[in-house]
Structure 1
């Protein structure tokens, strides 16, 4: 008789232990009573009716999910391998348990398909230079798609864009050609500005004959100040010697 009573005591203790649950602050418990959803419990102490009620734990912390490398063909028909990382968290525990079988796997598969779809709408240059915009687009699309599952996608980041060697060399040649083009444009702009300044200076000197004469004399002085003996044929402006010619003619 004592042995039977002992078994009953052990069974009662086991039922009591199974009825008492403690949930930490970052977890919630989805309670099913006879298979029907009857509420979300936690955090803290939760009491369940043994056998009749069952509880499923849901973590509310942000989950970091790596998206495996995906082969993507861009809009300009360039093949690249792209991987990403998705940050999300559960905001409605009941939906995450009742609306989808495995929300982690479902979110991962959805992220892979959406990544290929979105990047396929962009050219390679856009994928490389507009990552922030593409990340925001992916985040909005995934957040909308996972909303029925009670999941909030907070951020999506493209990690790596891998190109084959042929494309790497082509991009390097393109970058070099772009640098040469910019250098030529800058040189041409400098020549244009110099020509404009020379035109303005010539117009200013042409208005004052004395200034033009002084400029000729200054140029001659600069050419002969080196100290080397040389013969210089320098055109002498008529305005400079015209006063001498007029004086000679008056004396005659």
Structure 2
């Protein structure tokens, strides 16, 4: 059977985690500078601010290089100054061109939550996330069982991390449990990269009313944003729209003034 891109990413991620475990123990991660820091709440920030989680992303499997010329600090500082509710930073190297340094280099400079955006498939990665200064982790339903989601959510909360569960299909609604902090609905299908906003709205309407919902990916203009906002989404994860411009922070500022 032919592997889709998600299968390839997960296979590579398992190899990566195995190598990391052999190099750095969980105890060493616990001894890191940021492990004991009090985390910021993305949930609270989405309720009290504009709801945009602005993303730093150099590249993606579907678009190739998006912007590899700007520094994380320059971009996320601008995002924060213009009112972002949180920052999303990709830490996957092989497929998204990210690394831990992208979070480490900005952690002390900003005072809003950072989402470690990666493919979380092993308990070890949650200790990693905490050790590099993340506040929130992404759990992608497409590569986890409902049982894993529950266990990883409990571990995240023990570590003081919030959880953003990402779903894309009706079947994946089964991954939701009451301990999840936020549910992200990916407008883009990770298996074939097609974008469908109405599909996301239909899924959102099947979630409990009190769950904070985040529209993810494929928000390409103010019309998309307003459509999703009108349909009741609380948060909006946006990266490519800003990152494909020479100055992502300025593009974010302009978007807010439209």
TM (norm. structure 1) is: 0.18
Query: Of Structure 1 and Structure 2, which has the larger fraction of its residues in strand?
Result: 1
Higher relative contact order (CA 8 A, sep 6+): 2
Query: Of Structure 1 and Structure 2, which has the larger fraction of its residues in helix?
Result: 1
Larger Rg: 1
